[in-house]
A and B are shown apart, each in its own frame.
Chain A
């Protein structure tokens, strides 16, 4: 009969579609969790806050998952969103982070030894990365997360590979200067 709509079949299609979508999101969540947490951690220096921000980014990604089905697009969007949320969080909790920064610098044990030296070195490295301009900082962070190569970073930031290369070079130079 013309105009007849098989409601059950249509409902089944929607259910299938939703199930496929859920499965796809679950895959993205599994493969990009570390990326999101590390990006947030690079900004916040605080594990719990980093997880919180990364979870929020995933929740937002789920809301827009219809436009983010493509894997590369999803990861690029997730990195940008996580970075932005982490920056916002850090701005809003600057006072608390200042306290934790002081805690970090005083976290080195008083006793001399390799561990104390390593902690001091890590604290200096954090401060040096923190002192970089945002464009250089995000490149050095992404290049050192999950062994991304230049092309990966370029895709994540949606900029040419040459731009990533020059920014990475500048970032390393600045870091070496700051650490000397």
Chain B
């Protein structure tokens, strides 16, 4: 061991002694009793934790159910006519006449040895008749459902509200209708 290494070790040992003195705290005599008290108080806290988890699970189940049973359809995109003629939109691709470039050259895709098959539009008939709702109404309904699930909206007053009954009229028994007497107009007929 060189003198430098020896000096280094001495310095390390001195530093370690200083740090050991710094951390030399002992637990107080009440420490273990405090742990026991905490453990004894655990059941109540554990119960509260379980209740919290139960509530969270119920909320998750409700949200999942709402997601599953809420009809969601992809937003329809209206075709825009910018840059395309109405003929392109109405007629299938094969029937539209191929336009030549303005400079009269070869079409861009003619150079390709492979012709890409035109994409066949998928027409999947929905099993049920499609219910069309305005996007605003859909958003409002979803917001309402989410609000009810989240507890922000309380529908109890609505469900408990009494709707006014149809007004029932008293049966009319003694209805007397006087005969209508029409007097002849004098001077019109001889």
Contacts and interface: CB of A to CB of B under 8 A. Distances in A.
**Main SS of the interface on chain A?**
helix
A138 B27 CA distance: 20
Interface string A33-67: 11001100110000100110011101100110000
B178 interface: no
A33 B34 CA distance: 12
Interface stretch (A87-95, A119-127, A155-163): A119-127
A33 B32 CA distance: 8
A30 B46 CA distance: 25
Interface residues of B, number: 23
A51 B27 contact: yes
A41 B32 contact: no
Given A172-B12, A172-B15, A175-B15, A29 B35 contact: yes
B7 to A, nearest CB: 12
A141 B23 contact: yes
Interface string A1-18: 000000000000000000
Given A29-B32, A37-B31, 15 more contacts: A30-B32, A34-B26, A34-B27, A38-B23, A38-B24, A41-B25, A42-B23, A55-B38, A62-B39, A62-B42, A125-B19, A144-B23, A145-B20, A172-B15, A179-B15
